[in-house]
Structure 1
Amino acid sequence: MSLENLREYLPILIPIIVLQLGLTIAAIIHILRHDNYKFGTRPMWILIAFIQTIGPLVYFFFGRGEE
Structure 2
Amino acid sequence: MNFEINWALVAPLLVIQAILMIIALVDLVKTDAERTNGPKWMWVLIVIIVNTIGPILYFIIGKKRY
4+ runs deviating over 2 angstroms: none
TM-score by length of 2: 0.85
Q: CA RMSD in A?
A: 1.7
- Paired with 1:29 and 1:57, the residues of 2 have a C-alpha distance of 14
Give unpaired runs (5+ residues) of structure 1: none
Tell me by how many angstroms 1:66 deviates: 3.3
Match of 2:27 among 26, 30, 39: 30
Q: Percent identity?
A: 32
TM-score by length of 1: 0.84
Give unpaired runs (5+ residues) of structure 2: none
Q: Deviations over 1:24-60 (max 9, x none)?
A: 00000000000111x2011001001111100000000
